[in-house]
A = this chain, B = another copy of it.
Amino acid sequence: MSDILELLENGSFSSLQAELRELNPVDLAHELEQMDRTKMMMLFRLMPKDQAAAVFSYLDSSLHQHIVETISAVEVRELIDAMFIDDAVDLLEELPSNMVRAIINNSSPETRRIINHFLKYPENSAGSLMTVEFVGLFETMTCREALALIRKSGVDKETIYTCYATDASRHLTGAVSLRSILLSPDDCTITQIMNSTVIYVHTSEDQEEVARKFKEYDLLAMPVVDNENRIVGIITIDDIVDVIEAENTEDIELMAALHPSESEYLKTSVWRLARNRILWLLVMMISATFTGSIIGHYEALLQNAVVLAIFIPMLMDTGGNCGSQASTLIIRGMAVGDIRLQDWSRVLLKELGVATLVAFALSLVNLLRITIFTGAGFRVDLVVTITLFITIIFAKLIGCCLPLFAKLCKFDPALMASPLITTVVDAFALIIYFSLASLMLP
């Protein structure tokens, strides 16, 4: 890679161009990001148009604005026209709006029409993910005709490996892989070899649902249709891999009581990171106050048996951990589609079984430990052990019920993860603990 900078400094532009053509656009984008901006712009301009467009779509978004501002209007137009439409739309969604207007006015009428169309779809919908660059075949074509069409038009298409068949009015009627076209006799018609049970989505469908279908059916591409069942675009697997990772990140962040953010950690400002965290922390701090007021209610009891305070952290932590284990498994099971709402009774029975086993094991270990090492007296030991047992059962059950309940109410189940459950379980554990203590201690 150091070759490139050397060639640039020596002014050997033709060998430089040959070298640039050979490199993978992802690696090249990484390199450009490290350079100073003058050198970066020189290299960017030396690349062949297609290579430049590919590299551009992998560059960090902070550089997009710089490049668009630096190059001429004609160059912007060439760049946008050479990019895949879905990448171009992503770019426009991140630039300031005055720049977007300038770019749209500068691009070719055809590209402009398509981009305008795309910008209408809501974010995270199938429409916003799709590209219009697919191969559409009429079902009456022969394989020979189809192959000729693909060879003629394929250069501009994001994927040519799955083609879609339509009737005369562009209603989706089937899918056919390039593989079948290649491997079938030349005069076979598309109708004969196409698969007429195509998996497709509507433009308005949520990207999470689109990703689910890709995973379930092991697809490489999926057609997107409008309300009249006419094909308007396709979604390709490379964009779905990004969607899957983004949805996972969102779930993980929600589960840790973070306001989900789409930007990279190191590129997010301290101010924004703090803002994403403070609201939930405040909510949970206030709710933990209620837990505290339970202790306040039993202040007299605690005054008489201050040893009870020693076991508060153990009861709170174990309850919280038991609850978050259960909720995590249920939330994840629902996210990957293993658990559906109608499975609630099986989940409940299963967690009841697990809770009983876990509660027995932990209570026993705890009883042995505190009778041997802590001199709190048999009655206190018994109160602690019974509380632990009941808390574990409660924590496991609430841990599996809350995510299911959230799903029923059409909330994201990931909201019902550890932090919320910990707060609920804490309060429950302390009420049981002090009630038992008032009853059983002299």
Contacts and interface: CB of A to CB of B under 8 A. Distances in A.
Interface string A149-189: 01100110000110000000000000000110011000000
A72 interface: no
B24 A366 contact: no
Contact of A24 (B22, B23, B197, B322): B197
- Stoichiometry (number of copies): 2
A190 to B, nearest CB: 16
Contacts of A280: 321
Interface in A249-279: 249, 251-253, 255-258, 264-266, 270-271, 273-274, 277-278
Given A270-B350, A295-B309, A354-B277, A255 B252 contact: yes
A108 interface: no
Size class of the A contact interface (CB-based, 8 Å)? 35 or more
Contact of A244 (B241, B252, B277, B281): B241
Contacts of A127: none
Interface string A385-396: 000000000000
Interface string A279-314: 011101110110111011001001100110111111
A367 to B, nearest CB: 12
Nearest to A289: B314
A353 B217 CA distance: 46
A318 B354 contact: no
A214 B309 CA distance: 53
Interface string A355-383: 00110011001100100001000000000
Contacts of A241: 214-215, 218, 237, 240-241, 244
B426 A285 contact: no
The 8 closest A-B pairs by CB, nearest first: A256-B328, A270-B353, A291-B313, A274-B357, A288-B314, A288-B317, A218-B238, A265-B333
